[in-house]
A and B are shown apart, each in its own frame.
Chain A
Amino acid sequence: DAMVIQNPRYQVTQFGKPVTLSCSQTLNHNVMYWYQQKSSQAPKLLFHYYDKDFNNEADTPDNFQSRRPNTSFCFLDIRSPGLGDAAMYLCATSRESGSSYEQYFGPGTRLTVT
């Protein structure tokens, strides 16, 4: 089945220790998104890629970086995690940018910062 996969599902890191979250997709979608979602809050878009074209949201902290080496994979790097970065991180894909196509979400990675 075509899908969006995120690894790991649960990640524990120490304050200030870099961490990388990964996302892969078998849908062959052009657009990939990274969202941060805290409990009972709306998903917050961090950045998105249209193919290799990177789009950073204005209020995404510099502490968050992303890489998309090919169509299938996308990574979220948190360079120095703080306690406030503990959240669910959701990867999503869609067929096209600038369209009404729905976004398909991976299962998410729950990040704990100790």
Chain B
Amino acid sequence: GQNIDQPTEMTATEGAIVQINCTYQTSGFNGLFWYQQHAGEAPTFLSYNVLDGLEEKGRFSSFLSRSKGYSYLLLKELQMKDSASYLCAALDSNYQLIWGAGTKLIIKP
């Protein structure tokens, strides 16, 4: 079956760095997305990785290892507004998005 695993909840301190991990098992693979979702709002796109390695975009970076079926989202210089759920989603061989349940990130002052 197809499966995405990510932690349910994480807590971090304002100004710190946090890494949210995601492992995936899909029928074929055409890339991995990270989305941010604030409570009661729609997901917004953060990143897309299809090749191995690290993609940096401001305070957010995303890493992919295809051989390990593993990705992480790295958030630096955490701000209170970063409190949200972070969803990992993998594109399978049919270009269907397989979604994780999201990691709820709580930022403390």
Which residue numbers of A lie inside 8 Å of B, CB to CB? 40-45, 88, 90, 97-100, 102-108, 110
- Chain A residues touching B, majority SS: loop
Contact A98 B95, beta carbon cutoff 8 Å: yes
**How close is A105's CB to chain B, nearest CB, in angstroms?**
4
**How close is B42's CB to chain A, nearest CB, in angstroms?**
4
Contact B50 A100, beta carbon cutoff 8 Å: yes
Contact of B105 with A by CB under 8 A: no
Contact B42 A100, beta carbon cutoff 8 Å: no
Residue from the list B8, B41, B43, B45 in contact with A43, Cβ < 8 A: B43
**How close is A6's CB to chain B, nearest CB, in angstroms?**
8
Which residue numbers of B lie inside 8 Å of A, CB to CB? 4, 8, 30-31, 33, 40-45, 48, 50, 85, 87, 91, 94-97, 99-102, 104
Chain B residues closer than 8 Å to A98, beta-carbon distance: 94-95
**How close is B14's CB to chain A, nearest CB, in angstroms?**
24
Contact A102 B48, beta carbon cutoff 8 Å: yes
Chain A residues closer than 8 Å to B97, beta-carbon distance: 45, 103
What would 24 A/B residue contacts be, using CB atoms closer than 8 Å?
A: A40-B8, A40-B85, A40-B102, A40-B104, A43-B43, A43-B87, A43-B99, A45-B96, A45-B97, A88-B40, A90-B42, A90-B43, A97-B95, A99-B95, A100-B30, A100-B50, A102-B33, A102-B45, A102-B48, A103-B45, A107-B41, A107-B42, A108-B42, A110-B40
What CA separation (Å) do A90 and B34 show in the bound complex?
A: 17
Chain A residues closer than 8 Å to B95, beta-carbon distance: 97-100
Contact B101 A41, beta carbon cutoff 8 Å: yes
What CA separation (Å) do A88 and B40 show in the bound complex?
A: 8
